[in-house]
Chains A and B, each alone.
Chain A
Amino acid sequence: MNFFADHILSIILFFPALAGLIILFVPAKQVKAIRWIALAASLVPLILSLLVWIQFKPLGRGFQFQERLVWYEAIKATYHLGIDGISLVMLLLTTLLTPIAILASFSVQEKVKAYMILFLFLETGMLGVFLALDLLLFFVFWEIGLVPMYFLINLWGGERRNYASLKFMIYTMAGSLGLLLAIQLMGVLTGTFDIPELIQKWPAFQGASILGLPFSVIKQVAFWAFVVAFAIKVPVWPFHTWLPDAHTEAPTAGSMILAGVLLKLGAFGFLRLVLPLFPVESQMYAGGLVFLAVMAIVLGALGAFGQTDFKRLVAYSSINHMGFVVLGIGAAAWVGLTKDSVIALNGAVLQMFTHGLSSAGMFFLVGVIYDRTHTRNLHDYGGLWSLLPKYGTILVFTSMASLGLPGLSGFVSEFMVVRGAWPIFTIATAVSMVGLFFTGAYVLKALYIVLHGPINKHLEGHVTEINTREIIVIAPLMVLMLLIGVWPAWILEIINRAVMTLF
């Protein structure tokens, strides 16, 4: 086979970074050229990943499109890439949201060159996590994505950006320390970092005691090290406090990517690493995980309800929605592979995708209105629907997808999670469904305050309608929300097989 077909994942992975390097040599004054180069460059991975999607065999076993090269031989780490159904869906989500976010960033006026370079580097960082099949490589990309995100928040963010960006970085890095230590330990003990190989070896692996602790305890500690690192990223209550700050202060496109893709990295970590590597420990602590998920769902919704800042409200809603992902994972961890748990896991992965669409859409719409009014305070809006009918319609549509209205994407995935988890954790599922009620409440509250009621006199006359570029940004998201809402089978058939072989 030719080079292109053999290395398509590598090309997808490094194309954005390469484009970023090319932009480095474009004069900073050529703002227009830089924007279009960045957009064009981010479309290439999208087209290639669609190509991968077409060639992907949903019924194939194991990882497809694998690439393997010697990388860091001395410690036996390899450059190993490959995808299964879960990572394919995430690959598509990332390559789809990046060009959309870049198009949404055309309104950025300051330091456009640096902004676009960082954004493209960020894409490579995120893609690497989804594609890596080597634990060390996984960690490399896991951490490296933090750097562009830190600078995106720190340099283009809102008023409290210094606080928010540092908190984001330190929180995540500190959370990853345990992960780093656990990865090192696993490498030392098993002599490999290869994920498929570790999945074979590690669950049954028995070693000597360390520091006087029996090996089973060591394994549990390693399990928690993984869980904490991923739980912070998801984020699961009570590790969520970095999120409202980071999301609120990030520039619009940064929030879109944060909520749309970065949070999924954490959930993806659970699916790719925690469940397959620690099946015993996962089952042991599944109840705890489900408890945290329910807390995230309920408290996230209540937190969102209490906000007066529109962007903060959307940020809290992410905690609420990501809770369902963890609920599905926790339910599956408890029972292993049954009919119900497969449904729950399918729902969880689909929820990762649909939340990616709806949260990116919501943050974008908040950004659109902020650009025009320069306020995010809900009470400074009012009666916008009559002023901006197109914007109002789009906002209602996206909000409904987000709250889980039947016929739109959020409903399918949340229903599947709840359906799958119900026989396994009935009470927890029931409580989280109450959480769903609060979700409805805060979304409607926001819609009411922003769109209805008396028109705010300050806004009348100088708020302009959503423009064509912005409609182009949101349109693909809306199409997908509707498509998945009415016909989810095309994506579920990809997910299903991967989920069934997870254990």
Chain B
Amino acid sequence: MQFPLLSVIIFIPLVAGVALLLMPHDRKALIKVTALCASCLTLLLTVILYVSYNTQAGGYQFIERIDWLPSLGISYFVGVDGFSVPMVLLGSLVLVCGVLVSWGVEDRPREFFSFMMFLGTSVLGVFSSLDLFLLFFFYELAVFPKYLMIAMWGYPKTRDYGAMKLTLYLFIGSVISLVGALAMYFASGQNTFDMLALEKAGFSLEFQRLWFPVVFVGFAVLAGMFPFHSWAPDGHVAAPTAISMLLAGVEMKVGAFAALRVAIMLLPEGAKAWAPLIFGLATINVVYGALIAMIQTDFKYVIGFSSVSHMGLVLIGFATLNREGLLGAGLQMFSHGVMTAMFFAVVGMVYDRAHTRDIAQLGGLFRKMPWAGVGFIIGGLVSMGMPGFSGFIAEFPIFMGAWKAAPVVAIIAIVGIVITAGYILLVVRRVFFGAIPPALEKQVGDVTIKDKVVIAVLGVIMIALGWLPALMVPILKTGVDHILRLVGGA
């Protein structure tokens, strides 16, 4: 039997999370080192997975299948294609970074790191699931660590509200999607949750058109689609740093990914019929999200709303249903994941030292923490789609796809770029340059070596991808080809 690489990747964090809970709560160093080792091992194996994925062959690889509840057609069925491999990489990467920036957590670190590991298994599992039931299983696995981590370690003033809002929104969303999934299960008449079988189930046109919006919207809530986006800024801001990174960096992609995998790929005719509506809502996401980000006075809310804006571009890419758009959407998911992890990491570093997120009370921090400043600027340049950074190579094909499918969307959405440039530059200037307030002069010190590792790794990835798109494009392309075969656009 072959080494079950994918399963090992998925379950290392879960095993580590359980092991952490069994450790004595006062062995803080041991707990942190265990979490770091587990996440690094996951990342290492993911890199092996990424490199050894055969782009010539394409399709689903590293497939593992074990019957689970055969009478209901449920099996433990995992595998990755060209679209999910980069997502798995993103998940492992942000998990490691999340552990590193949380090194200073002193409040119940055992539970903190343990829950974070559970969240890791959840996202990795969703990206790898080929069984619809399994996908929901992993999807829901995230609910309780998310809720608890925000409610227990979050920003004291808003954590109750933020955690509750986020959980309710996402829970309702997933229930709606689950209803749609069950409809597919029964309509297929094959008594199976196997998504590869469901891809070929040949649902009728009416069925697809009726159920597509249900399934899609349920997942798109987690992707932050307008008008269901409002949990995102509140949740991100209330969450502790590492969880903001995982939420905005990876969880929102989980929503987008599930919307693609389940709604678009299983109900392609529905996707074609509803694409105009997705275009409309996603365009609002892009422009409205950017405008709202511009007027925020809270450092973290700026980033929260910027995620709403950027996820809109992913959804535009989906709605094009053509090669360029989908390719760009995949790149944007990865690029935005890395970028927003960087943003929230830096915001966390600033907050930990300045104890305020009010932009008006910050200033001149570049001199105190140059690494954080450089990291934020790189993230900002990615965010405004500056060429030479990963955001550009992602957004450019999305816009090309939009030109093919709906030119007016391209023309409107591009305005988002300038608005983004505006608020990013203003925030960079107000927080990192200018005069440093006297109150901060003494209390703010430089970031730790672990923070620097995070900044360097994320920054290098964003720049490398910007100049060498070939690092990721060939692998994504095989995934896009598969989707195109399903939607009949190839």
Give the B-binding residues of A (Cβ under 8 A): 70-75, 136, 139-144, 147, 150, 154-155, 162, 166, 169-170, 173-174, 177, 180-181, 184-185, 187-188, 210-211
- Among B396, B410, B421, B433, contact of A154 (Cβ-Cβ < 8 Å): B433
- Among B408, B425, B473, contact of A169 (Cβ-Cβ < 8 Å): B425
Give A142 to B386 CA distance when docked, in angstroms. 10
For A72, list chain B residues within 8 Å (CB): 393, 469-470, 473
Q: How far is the CB of B429 from chain A (nearest CB, A)?
A: 6
Q: Are B404 and A188 in contact (CB under 8 A)?
A: yes
For A144, list chain B residues within 8 Å (CB): 386-388
Q: Are A188 and B397 in contact (CB under 8 A)?
A: no
Q: Are A73 and B407 in contact (CB under 8 A)?
A: no
Q: Are B399 and A184 in contact (CB under 8 A)?
A: yes
Q: How far is the CB of A59 from chain B (nearest CB, A)?
A: 35
Describe A's contact surface by its main secondary structure: helix
State whether A188 and B400 are in contact (beta carbons under 8 Å apart), knowing that A143-B387, A180-B414 are contacts in the complex. yes
Q: Are A181 and B433 in contact (CB under 8 A)?
A: no
B31 within 8 A of A: no
B202 within 8 A of A: no
For A73, list chain B residues within 8 Å (CB): 470, 473-474
Q: Are B399 and A211 in contact (CB under 8 A)?
A: no
* Other 17 A-B pairs with CB < 8 A, given A144-B388, A173-B418: A72-B469, A74-B473, A75-B396, A139-B387, A140-B388, A140-B392, A141-B387, A142-B387, A144-B387, A150-B425, A166-B426, A170-B418, A177-B415, A181-B411, A184-B400, A188-B324, A211-B408
Q: How far is the CB of A233 from chain B (nearest CB, A)?
A: 16
User: Of all chain B residues, which has the CB nearest A181?
Assistant: B414
6 A-B contacts (beta carbon < 8 Å): A72-B473, A74-B397, A143-B386, A144-B388, A166-B429, A173-B421
Q: Are B327 and A74 in contact (CB under 8 A)?
A: yes
Q: Are A71 and B469 in contact (CB under 8 A)?
A: yes
For B429, list chain A residues within 8 Å (CB): 154, 162, 166
Q: Are A188 and B403 in contact (CB under 8 A)?
A: yes
For A180, list chain B residues within 8 Å (CB): 399, 414, 417
Q: Are B469 and A74 in contact (CB under 8 A)?
A: yes
B104 within 8 A of A: no
State whether A185 and B408 are in contact (beta carbons under 8 Å apart), knowing that A74-B477, A169-B421 are contacts in the complex. no
For B384, list chain A residues within 8 Å (CB): 173
B488 within 8 A of A: no
- Among A155, A170, A185, contact of B421 (Cβ-Cβ < 8 Å): A170
Give A147 to B477 CA distance when docked, in angstroms. 31
For B381, list chain A residues within 8 Å (CB): 147
Give A188 to B407 CA distance when docked, in angstroms. 11
Describe B's contact surface by its main secondary structure: helix
B280 within 8 A of A: no
Q: How far is the CB of A179 from chain B (nearest CB, A)?
A: 11
Q: How far is the CB of A172 from chain B (nearest CB, A)?
A: 10
User: Of all chain B residues, which has the CB nearest A185?
Assistant: B403
Q: How far is the CB of A31 from chain B (nearest CB, A)?
A: 17
Give A87 to B469 CA distance when docked, in angstroms. 27
Q: Using an 8 Å CB-CB cutoff, how does the interface string of B414-446 with A read, 1 for contact, 0 for none?
A: 110110011001100100011000000000000
Q: Using an 8 Å CB-CB cutoff, how does the interface string of B439-470 with A read, 1 for contact, 0 for none?
A: 00000000000000000000000000000011
For B323, list chain A residues within 8 Å (CB): 74
For A211, list chain B residues within 8 Å (CB): 407-408
For B415, list chain A residues within 8 Å (CB): 177
User: Of all chain A residues, which has the CB nearest B387?
Assistant: A140
Give A188 to B325 CA distance when docked, in angstroms. 12
Give A169 to B421 CA distance when docked, in angstroms. 8
Give A144 to B411 CA distance when docked, in angstroms. 22
Q: Are A177 and B414 in contact (CB under 8 A)?
A: yes
Q: How far is the CB of B259 from chain A (nearest CB, A)?
A: 22
State whether A184 and B473 are in contact (beta carbons under 8 Å apart), knowing that A140-B388, A144-B388, A173-B421 are contacts in the complex. no
Give A188 to B414 CA distance when docked, in angstroms. 16
For B388, list chain A residues within 8 Å (CB): 140, 143-144
State whether A75 and B433 are in contact (beta carbons under 8 Å apart), knowing that A169-B421, A177-B418 are contacts in the complex. no
For A136, list chain B residues within 8 Å (CB): 396
Give A112 to B418 CA distance when docked, in angstroms. 30
Give A166 to B418 CA distance when docked, in angstroms. 12
Give A432 to B429 CA distance when docked, in angstroms. 42
User: Of all chain B residues, which has the CB nearest A143?
Assistant: B387
Question: Which of A70, A177, A181, A188 gathers the greatest number of chain B CB atoms within 10 Å?
Answer: A188
For B474, list chain A residues within 8 Å (CB): 73
Give A103 to B473 CA distance when docked, in angstroms. 42
For B327, list chain A residues within 8 Å (CB): 74
User: Of all chain A residues, which has the CB nearest B466?
Assistant: A140
For B477, list chain A residues within 8 Å (CB): 74
User: Of all chain A residues, which has the CB nearest B401?
Assistant: A188
For B422, list chain A residues within 8 Å (CB): 166, 170
For A141, list chain B residues within 8 Å (CB): 387
State which residues 381-395 of B face A: CB under 8 Å.
381, 384, 386-388, 392-393
